Amino acid sequence: MISCTVSIGIVAYLDHASIESMISDADTALYHSKKTGRNKVTCFKDIA
């Protein structure tokens, strides 16, 4: 049997945000998901 985990980080699009800052924020949310238990989806606005 194969085991798999999924961790996802998401960020909301804001008109004044650059692509680079959005990617950075999504990455921050992703690593927060991994650090707090995996198998989760984390929205950056909830941890900022």
Q: Show the domain range for 13.
A: 7-47
> How many structural domains does the chain have?
1
How far apart (Å, rounded) are the C-alpha atoms in residues 43 and 34?
Answer: 13
Phi, psi of 47 (to 5 degrees): -115, -10
Residue 12 lies in a domain: yes
Residue 2 lies in a domain: no
Residue 34 lies in a domain: yes
Single pTM value for the model: 0.86
pLDDT for the residue numbered 6: 95
pLDDT for the residue numbered 26: 97
The mean pLDDT values, 10 residues at a time, for the chain of 48 residues are: 94 92 97 94 96
Phi, psi of 25 (to 5 degrees): -65, -40
Residue 14 lies in a domain: yes
